[in-house]
Amino acid sequence: MQEMIKNDLRYALSPVTFSRECLNVEPDPWQAEVMMRPAKRILLNCSRQSGKSTSSSIIALHQALYYPGSLILLISPSLRQSSELFKKVQSFYKMLPDRPKLPEDNKLSMALENGSRIVSLPSSEANIRGFSAVALVIEDEASRVADDLYRAVRPMLAVSAGKIMLMSTPWGKRGHFFEEWTGPNEWERIEIPATKCPRISPVFLAEEEKALGNWWFQQEYMCKFMETTDSLFSYDTIMAAMSDDVEPLFPALGTASQVTMPGLSDDVEPLFIGEK
Ligand SMILES: Nc1ncnc2c1ncn2[C@@H]1O[C@H](COP(=O)(O)OP(=O)(O)OP(=O)(O)O)[C@@H](O)[C@H]1O
Ligand SMILES: [Mg+2]
């Protein structure tokens, strides 16, 4: 009995020990670092297949088990991805030897006897209305999660002083994941290129670069926010045009702040009707 209580305390204090001893997953160094980080705002810019979904599921399960009454929201860009992510949580839960019965257990959510709940949501703002006092939000593949949803989720952390983690492979210079990664807001930013993942070999990476080409390789494996290939203007050109400290591109039109950027504002007629 004493041994059980001692172990429970060890698991409660360390998600890494919990993962190793209860789930049989030895966290990679970066996963261990993320699991132990006390920061309330964490951004993870990760390679494909680096272990984002695995760590999200373990972090969510640990919070639910050891912080009674926690509401945890897992957000993914699509229904298929949220079901996949939730299946990982369920399969880890089933590995626990003395797992308590679940008062609620379905395809996208589970409730524990200690009052905690894990809910996995697809990316739709309408679906998240009604949740409040959220203890932990994890966005998996955040670069593809709708910006509206991100904006709707943040206030839910206010009362609970909850934690938010955005984990993603980049997807171009757009959206809230890119903006937070490059912006001034306070976040712990962690970059995990494929070269830091012990399961991805240099030989495989060399093959991938050859097969996919450098553009895709940099985005998928090396954490780079690439320019979309069909953009009319590069991101840097647009940013330069919006700063008063930079020589205007078209001096005849005045300073940058006086130049309207069709396509960037909802109040301005789009340049290409139908593409807005
Ligand atoms: N610490 C670990 N030890 C052993 N295997 C791991 C570990 N972390 C992840 N894996 C395995 O690596 C593979 C990829 O993991 P996961 O799906 O979590 O990565 P991902 O970054 O979410 O991938 P994707 O970019 O495709 O969404 C899976 O087979 C998973 O079981
Ligand atoms: Mg994943």
| 24 CA → ligand 1 middle, Å | 14
Q: Residue 125 contacts by C-beta under 8 Å, 6 or more apart in sequence? A: 146, 148, 149, 152
Q: What is the mean pLDDT of residues 198-227?
A: 96
Which ligand gives the minimal distance to the CA of 56?
Answer: 1
Q: Which comes out higher in pLDDT, residue 275 or 89?
A: 89
* Residue 80 Cα to ligand 2 middle (Å): 11
Domain residue ranges in the chain: 2-199
CA torsion sign, 211 to 214 to 219 to 223? positive
Q: What pLDDT sits at residue 274?
A: 45
* pLDDT reading at 157 higher than 60: yes
Q: Which contiguous run of DSSP H or E holds residue 202?
A: helix 202-212
Radius of gyration of the CA atoms of the chain, in A: 21
- Atom 2 of ligand 1, residue of closest alpha carbon: 27
Assigned token pair, 167: 């984990």
Q: Please work out whether the CB of residue 49 comes within 6 Å of at least one atom of ligand 1.
A: yes
Phi, psi dihedrals of residue 179, rounded to the nearest 5°: -65, -40
- 215 alpha carbon to ligand 2 midpoint, in Å? 21
Q: What is the pLDDT of residue 236?
A: 63
Helix 52-66 × helix 79-94 angle, to 10°: 60
Residues 12-24 have pLDDT tens digits of 999 999 999 999 9
- The pLDDT-based confidence of 275 (bands split at 50, 70, 90) is very low
* Domain 2-199: top CATH class: alpha beta
Ligand 1 pocket, 52 CB below 6 A? yes
Find out whether 164 and 137 touch, Cβ atoms under 8 Å: yes
Of residues 272 and 208, which shows the higher confidence score?
Answer: 208
pLDDT tens, residue by residue, 162-188: 999 999 999 999 999 999 999 999 999
State residue 104's pLDDT score.
87
Query: Quick check: CB of 31 below 6 Å from ligand 1?
Result: yes
Report the length, in residues, of the chain. 276
Among the bound ligands, the one closest to the CA of 54: 1
Task: Supply the mean pLDDT for the chain.
Answer: 87
Q: List the residue whose alpha carbon is closest to atom 4 of ligand 1.
A: 25
Per-residue confidence (pLDDT) for residue 265, from 0 to 100? 45
Over residues 70-109, the pLDDT tens digits come to: 999 999 999 999 999 999 999 999 999 888 889 989 989 9
> If residue 32 lies in a helix (H) or strand (E), which one and from where to where?
helix 29-36
Measured between its terminal Cα atoms, the distance across the chain in Å is 63
CB 81 within 8 A of CB 122: yes
**Cβ 77 under 6 angstroms from ligand 1:** no
Q: With a cut of 50, say whether residue 11 has pLDDT above it.
A: yes
